[in-house]
Structure 1
Amino acid sequence: MFNETFRTTDIRRIAIVGSGLSGLTSAIKLKQQGHEVTVFEKSRGPGGRLAAKRVGEGSADIGAQYFTSRNPDFLPFLTEFAGDSSFAIWDGQFGFHSSDGQWQAFPDELRYVGTPRMTAISRALSAHATVVSETRIESLAQFDGGWVLSDTHGKQVGEFDQVIITAPPAQARDLLAQSNLPELAAQLDDAVSRVLPCWAVAAHFEENPWPRHEGMRCEHPVLYWAANNSSKPGRKNVAQEGKGAWWVLHANPQWTERNVETPPEQVAKEMVAAFRELTGTQVAVTDTVPHRWLYARSEGGANPGHLWFPKQGIGIAGDWLSGGRVEGAFDSACSLVSACTENPVSR
């Protein structure tokens, strides 16, 4: 074993586990430096929390509802690698509903969404990376100079000099533990305890049930967020065509934890009832599509930006390491790439 500086002129084989925004950003940045990068994704397509489900004749964003751009490099990156047609400003009225029943204005800030759905961004970014889909990485095995990755079927999928993990902290910890890396896994214990679950329901109303706001943050026993998905740019405006409107409802973490195993149909029924209580609407609901997020967002804790273990050549990135916002995934990936291409690596 010896120390060797990972210079950008060295071509390295790098594996990335997870094809959310942090994984795809890492892949693109590393590929720009000339490295051979392979992204492994357990699902059929990329996206992570930039997720959408097909509903009716279109789709509804069931994960991240929008994103901001406080880092001046973020929008130029999306424009260059996803294209300026893959996102747009969501120009609407946003409100905060406090526990005393009062409505307050949301912070005045530009909010962006993928067009025609949030997944448009990740799919466009994935065109600039080598993505192996429907492959869940089960373990890493060290060999002379790097790591051999194996999937859940026990098949070896490749040898790599470095590994970047962008899965949620619970899944990242499991992967490290299954790879005989208990000391690294233990460093994620606090982060795992801070990850919150979320039930999401896309509900179709015969007409727009709440014209006052396009998005609402709620202090409610059941709901955390509600938004008119049909109001987002690039969506088929079914409301204007007399075909109603799709709203997306997010439950708060406490209610979700109490109902993690509740049947989806019952969850949808109770969340729609909560929305009726919040707004007073009696507009009929014609369809619901529920989705359970076990790892929705992280609350509190340190925000180091990334985790980099130079002796093992393993890095961890994700929005949960950089504030929890969608943009945090980009920030985390950029900081990790900077660290792993400048620090000494033990081979």
Structure 2
Amino acid sequence: MRKESSMLAGVRRIAVIGSGIAGLTLGHRLKQAGFQVTLFDKARGPGGRMASKRLEQGSLDLGAQYFTVRDPRFRRFLADHASGCLGEWTGTLRYQRPDGTLSPYHADTRYVGVPRMSAITRALSDGLALNTGTRITRIGHTPDQGWQLQDEAGASWGDYDRLILCQPPVQARDLLAASDLDDEAGVLADHLDALTPCWAVAAHFSTPLSLGYDGIQFQQGPLQWAANNSSKPGRKDAGQWWVLHGSSEWSDSHREATGAEVEAALLAAFREQTGETVQPDQVLSHRWLFARAEVSAAQGHLILAGGELAVCGDWLHGGRVEGAFLSAESLLTAWGLSG
């Protein structure tokens, strides 16, 4: 049943651009409250940085490697919409100290999607009106018709009473600027550095490595993270896949490097850090331009355009997968829809 609030009086239709965790959370919660919600995403499927890649030898989590659950609302949300595709990753994790020695990673319950990370966002998209492969390139608002959206193919979408952007700040700013919403774009300009890039390299080893751990966070060199993707629950890989993430600084300084250059550099760093000499038989790379949230503040969300437009994302709530959910919840609370 519709829950009216003073900020949503008369609102029927809401559009959400972006179908990561924040967008999917808003899709479900607003639908449950009785609104007509339509989501748009430029990618072929939902998930954002929860994306996975399917290959002949298995599947890879190239973005988010795992997540934790601390807020009971997030736990309930996952139980309601994605309980069948969650698993606990009990892999042995290590942390590299500044002097190069290794210590056990802090104790925590870490979750992943089963059989791949994207299974969670696929499950969360069930029952939602989601238009994938749809890049919105221009938006406009009038008092009579509300929000009108235009995609890169020239198709128009509307009329929406509210619009929520669940995109990286650079993409949100560029959309607003292209739509002549200069004041709103100016607000986003203060957040452009909230997300830093990350190069990801996946390496397949036909003979499993024996390093004594399944994941490690580095403090030295170009690598920040390496994980045995095949050690996660539900993976039925032939051989063993390792996923390597470059540090934010290194990835930023190598934005324009070729995939081959990145693969060579991060694999060399992996061999140097681990002492492993076995060569992979397959390597691939992926550049995340907007990957890691470098903020700790919990601003939560932004409300712009006199209350007609909102912005959400993990970068507005301290990062982390759960931060995306909490960003969406903060907007819902501001709209009088806290659950």
Whether these two folds match at TM > 0.5 is yes
The question of 1:330 aligning with 2:325 is answered yes
State the percentage of identical aligned residues.
46
User: SS of 2:65's equivalent?
Assistant: coil
1:254 aligns with one of 239, 249, 264? 249
Q: After TM superposition, give the deviation of residue 210 of structure 1 in Å.
A: 4.0
Q: TM-score, normalised by structure 2?
A: 0.94
3-state SS in 1 of match to 2:26: helix
> What do residues 261-310 of structure 1 show as CA deviations (whole Å, max 9, x unaligned)?
11102211211111001100012210011000000012136320111236
In the alignment, which residue of structure 1 is the partner of 2:37?
A: 37
Report the counterpart of residue 116 of structure 2 in structure 1: 117
Report deviation, 1:5. Answer: 2.4
Q: Aligned-pair distance for 1:11?
A: 5.2
The one-letter code matched in structure 2 to 1:67 is F
- TM-score of the aligned structures, taking structure 1 as reference length: 0.92
Note the 1:119-158 alignment, pairs <5 A.
119-145=118-144, 146-158=146-158
The alpha carbon displacement at 1:342 in A equals: 6.4
Q: Say which SS state the counterpart of residue 213 (structure 1) adopts.
A: coil
> Between Structure 1 and Structure 2, how many residues are aligned?
333
The superposition leaves residues 70-112 of structure 1 with CA deviations (integer Å, 9 ceiling, x where unpaired) of 1011122112112x22111101211111232111221111000
Q: Equivalent residue for 1:303?
A: 298
Work out the CA distance in 2 between the residues paired with 1:11 and 1:172. Answer: 23
Measured in 1, the distance between the counterparts of 2:199 and 2:55 equals 17
Query: What residue number does 2:214 align with?
Result: 214
* Residue in structure 2 matched with residue 269 of structure 1 by the alignment: 264
Mapping 1:1-347, distance limit 5 Å: 5-7=6-8, 10=10, 12-82=12-82, 84-145=83-144, 146-236=146-236, 238=237, 243-300=238-295, 302-309=297-304, 311-341=306-336
- Name stretches of at least 5 consecutive residues in structure 1 with no aligned partner: none
Give the SS at the match of 1:73. Answer: helix
Shift of 1:7: 4.7
RMSD over aligned Cα atoms: 1.8
- Aligned-residue offset at 1:211: 3.4
Question: Against the structure 1 CA distance between its residues 166 and 88, is the aligned structure 2 distance closer, same or farther, given a 3 Å change threshold?
Answer: same
**Residue type of the alignment partner of 2:293:** S
In structure 2, C-alpha distance between the alignment counterparts of 1:139 and 1:302, rounded to whole Å: 30
* Aligned equivalents of 1:295, 1:15: Cα separation in 2: 23
Q: Distance in 2 between matches of 1:246 and 1:92?
A: 14
Describe the SS at the equivalent of 2:30: helix
